[in-house]
Amino acid sequence: MGDRIIPRYIAIEGPIGVGKTSLAKILANKFGWRLVQEEVGHNPFLERFYENPRKYAFQTQLFFLLSRYRQQREMAQGNLFEKGVISDYVLAKDKIFALINLEDDEIALYDSIYKLLVPTVPKPDLVIYLQARPEVLLNRVRKRGVEYERNISLDYLKTLSDAYNEYFFHYNETPLLVVSTSEIDFVESPRDLEHLVREVKSVKRGTQHYIPLGSR
């Protein structure tokens, strides 16, 4: 009981299609906390990136980094954490994508900017890392039907999932709850959601894994 935490800032992370924003909205509503969402649709390079990744990768990543940094800094100002905050991303996600999409010389430039910005933003009290099999991710991406995501391939989702798994395997900056979502649907199933919320409320320091059998 002594190592249990009472988070006031929870960040949810995971690859495309895993349900980050859905869970963030549900938890924010359930806890009565402020919801912070990343501004994906405001990136003018994103659609072009999915059509031509090599040409637009650096512009896309730099825009995301600066946008997320600005949002995190604004969130840190004032007394926003008095009640609680749920975010559907962590700033570190930007580097995961950068390492996949950028060339070596671009990574070096990107990294120099990243190292200047990251120490100045608040760390979450808890990170929830959502996992799912790449096939499940592809099905969810297709199901939501976002036009600029139509070119996302299974191979890209496999690469992305591997990069996320590698990053969070070594992650130790904050308490971490790793949730396998392949066999559950916390949006449609109240039972799945209830069990997940119970895990979140009972989280302790260090890293914990939640691998439900699922309702389907």
Q: Residue 1: which pLDDT band, with cuts at 50, 70 and 90? A: very low
Tens digit of each residue's pLDDT (9 = 90 or more) over 45-61: 988 988 898 899 999 99
| pLDDT of res. 102 | 94
CB atoms within 10 A of CB 200: 19
- The amino acid at residue 9 is Y
The distance of Cα 209 from the centroid of its chain, to the nearest Å, equals 16
In a 13 Å sphere around the CA of 27, the CA atoms on its Cβ side amount to 29
Tens digit of each residue's pLDDT (9 = 90 or more) over 128-185: 999 999 999 999 999 888 887 888 899 999 999 999 999 999 999 899 999 999 999 8
| pLDDT of res. 148 | 77
- The amino acid at residue 35 is L
Task: Work out the percent of the chain whose per-residue pLDDT is above 70.
Answer: 95
CB-count burial class (<10 Å; 0-12, 13-18, 19+) for 144: exposed
155 is catalytic: no
State the DSSP code for 188: T
Which pTM value belongs to this model? 0.89
Alpha-carbon span 8 to 150, nearest angstrom:
36
**Nearest-CA neighbor of 21 among 192, 187, 210, 194?**
187
* 3-state secondary structure at position 131: strand
Cβ within 8 Å of residue 160, ≥6 positions away: 15, 16, 96, 97, 100
* Helix orientation angle between 134-144 and 154-169, rounded to the nearest 10 degrees: 120
Query: Domains in the chain, please, with CATH?
Result: 9-210 (3.40.50.300)
Catalytic, out of 88, 94, 125, 192: 88
Whether pLDDT at 8 is above 60: yes
What mean pLDDT is reported for the chain? Answer: 89
| pLDDT of res. 195 | 93
